[in-house]
Structure 1
Amino acid sequence: MPHFTEFNTNPPFPTDVPVAKLECISLAQLRGGNEAESDALFDACKNDGFFLLDLRGDEQGEKILSDAGSLFDVGRTLFDFPYDVKMQCVMGGARSVFGHNLNLSYKAVGLSKVDAEGTPDRCEFYGISKDDLLGLSAHLPAPAIIDSKRDLFTAFLTANHSLEQLVLSHLEKHLRLPAGALTSLHPLDRLSGDQVRILKYDPQPRQDRRTSLVPHTDFGSVTSLFNILGGLQVLPIGRQNVEANWRYVRPRTGCAIINLGDSMVKWSNGLLKSAMHRVTYAPGKQADATRWSLAYFGHAHNKSSMKRMEGSDVIPPLEDGTLEEDMTAEDWLYVRSTSYKQKDMKEFERVVGKDEPVPVVE
């Protein structure tokens, strides 16, 4: 399993950096109906918005880990292409064609900014959508290495979609929602913002190490993330956004990092959490190695309602006089992915609220 062996070929994660205390939940036990694991998942989603999911000992989980290793290899080939070749598949997803801005295809280093001063990011990525992979939408032009591995991308996406469904089914139970209230909003065969993304972070100059990917919250439902090296940091829920409060997420062999997106906050009227996170340089000796990341972003189908979920006595009620706009998931994704721009800030505040963190890149 390539994903496992890479932990042994890179410098170890250091022991002298601040680390987020995240629950580690067993997929095998969760799938087997272990009530303690299910309770731990719900607590993590209420308190942190992040947890580790140990995929070992589960047949599907082991396959996901193996496929993750293979996709890292695809990324190494892809990002070694000359710049002009990669730019032939520059980031697409215009709303007029695909329904919303999905940040698909290739994004070069520096295209996004990490602060109000316009400091460029330090990552490149390639994203491919579920709708493209499953033939539900137009096929974006892609490098040969991507097209030749469509079966691998599809297997990885559908398996992570299955993990998302499992997480949502447990949340349905704890929220005392009708069966299918969340899972039925995430079918494979309807248009949505689901995608797989491979990201590369080159080692930073020792004299100029800083944030590589802007602090943000994810827009969708459930994200699965696979890392070998450190660099991902989370801001614990309720903490002020100051440097001293950021915590590294320590990658663990055989584990995916799972986090909730803003859709879950909206549906649960704030009961579930979506934590702000960012990517900075890897800690310790890991900072001198190239950092690879692989993500699955899960979203509700485009026509899903983004109103507070009905039928639960656990989800907090809306405040008196609150009127919710019946926005679809398609429009939600569009607003969230564009509203970080200064000209859209008033719309962002109207839809989401003035106290929410501003996302820039999902």
Structure 2
Amino acid sequence: MIAPKSHSDLPPFPDGLPLAPIARISHNKLLQNDPEEAERVLEACRTHGFFYLDMTDNDDGQTLLGESEDLLSLAYRAFDCPAEEKKKFALVKGVSLFGYKENGTIKLTDPEKRPDTTEFFNVAKDHMHGFAESRTYPTDLTDERHLFQAFTRNAHETCMLVLETLAKQLKLAPDAFANKNIFEEPSGDHCRLTHKFAHHTDKSAIGLPSHTDFGSITMLFNWLGGLQIQSHDPAKKGEWEYVKPIPGHAIINLGDAMVTFSNGLLQSGKHRVIPAPGEQAEVDRYSIVYFVRPHNSVMMEPLEEFKDLSEHLKVAGKFEPEGGKTLTAGEWMRQRSIQLGS
């Protein structure tokens, strides 16, 4: 595998490609409760469901950037071992999302049924912090428990800042969304280390098929192109646009839980991962992700303030529980994990 060590080692992202016109938000301005920046966050989350978060303008952001780079170095080591060794830690589809997923999975919701080219390790926040009994992980990962603890807590705090900003913009109690994603409560929160193989020949192969995330909010650190979101422009309906990696910025997107809680007022953008463009297709792609999921006991239904909206979404957006039952977040996550496919 070819593992880039920094932005400077990567081939450049090509010019002239369709880029998603998503906002660049200042982490520091959100910390300072800047009203204009808060309005921009709400607009981003009611349209694209994605935005860049500039992590360079304050110490907290710089700390997270450093932790993401440390996890990137860990990912190089974790994936650079025999497939049979990694498979010893395989996740159990339909039971748990935590553990190793090999490449070649066909997602049940993908109409084209193309096997993906991405492998990943999902490392549960609860396991690293002792909030729940842990499954086994490779020693490369468990030896870095303190790094996972620091990254997950810091990433979670940043994601809660976004959710608190949204709540205040919607005239809700500041903790209206955050109190459904309490860090110390058992949940599906996890850090994901991903590795997508370079595409030397088949440029039509898929990294990850189109999907929306099924948690509350996602924070992504990536260093290579390939992420695309569907255009929000009515004139480009169904077309895909690249989310170009920007040094020093995380990529933030909402998940389906926030669509459910807001009864469709907020959006979870559809996205996919394809071969990186241009010369970047010749380089293996790694990313570090933190997924925030509602804690397991939360009921997956709109907040009281949004229950009277004219259009009521079915729970979880992509499947209808039997008998119209309202699921807990723990039940919901197990249902959605089945869609990982085979």
TM-score, normalised by the number of residues in structure 1: 0.85
Q: Is 1:317 the equivalent of 2:309?
A: yes
The structure with higher relative contact order (CA 8 Å, sep 6+) is 2
Partners of 2:114 and 2:206 within 8 A in 1: no
| TM-aligned CA deviation for residue 176 of structure 1 | 1.3
Q: Is 1:155 the equivalent of 2:155?
A: no
- One-letter amino acid matched to 1:335: Q
Q: Is 1:123 the equivalent of 2:123?
A: no
Q: Is 1:32 the equivalent of 2:32?
A: yes
Provide Cα deviations, 1:244-274, integer angstroms capped at 9, x if missing partner: 7011100101000000000111111111000
Distance 1:208 1:117 in 2: 16
| TM-aligned CA deviation for residue 283 of structure 1 | 0.7
Distance 1:233 1:240 in 2: 17
User: Which residue number in structure 2 is paired with residue 168 of structure 1?
Assistant: 163
| TM-aligned CA deviation for residue 48 of structure 1 | 0.8
30 and 316 in structure 1: CA distance in 2 versus 1, 3 angstrom threshold: farther
User: Which residue number in structure 2 is paired with residue 356 of structure 1?
Assistant: none
User: Which residue number in structure 1 is paired with residue 334 of structure 2?
Assistant: 334
Distance 1:245 1:163 in 2: 31
Distance 1:148 1:293 in 2: 20
Distance 1:272 1:181 in 2: 14
User: Which residue number in structure 2 is paired with residue 267 of structure 1?
Assistant: 261
The RMSD of aligned alpha carbons is 2.4
Q: Is 1:288 the equivalent of 2:282?
A: yes
The sequence identity of aligned pairs, in percent, is 35
Partners of 2:275 and 2:281 within 8 A in 1: yes
Runs of at least 5 residues in structure 2 that lack an aligned partner in the other structure: 316-323
Partners of 1:23 and 1:51 within 8 A in 2: yes
Distance 1:332 1:10 in 2: 39
**2:153 counterpart SS class:** helix
User: Which residue number in structure 2 is paired with residue 247 of structure 1?
Assistant: 241
- One-letter amino acid matched to 2:102: A
- One-letter amino acid matched to 1:31: L
Partners of 2:116 and 2:205 within 8 A in 1: no
210 and 93 in structure 1: CA distance in 2 versus 1, 3 angstrom threshold: closer
User: Which residue number in structure 1 is paired with residue 82 of structure 2?
Assistant: 82
Provide Cα deviations, 1:169-202, integer angstroms capped at 9, x if missing partner: 1111111112321111111111111000000011
User: Which residue number in structure 2 is paired with residue 181 of structure 1?
Assistant: 176
**1:196 counterpart SS class:** strand
User: Which residue number in structure 2 is paired with residue 42 of structure 1?
Assistant: 42
Q: Which residue of the other structure, out of 191, 205, 211, is the alignment partner of 2:206?
A: 211
User: Which residue number in structure 1 is paired with residue 12 of structure 2?
Assistant: 12
**2:304 counterpart SS class:** coil
- One-letter amino acid matched to 1:169: E
| TM-aligned CA deviation for residue 203 of structure 1 | 0.7
239 and 138 in structure 1: CA distance in 2 versus 1, 3 angstrom threshold: farther
Provide Cα deviations, 1:121-158, integer angstroms capped at 9, x if missing partner: 10110010011111121211111110100110111111
- One-letter amino acid matched to 2:189: D
Distance 2:247 2:229 in 1: 19
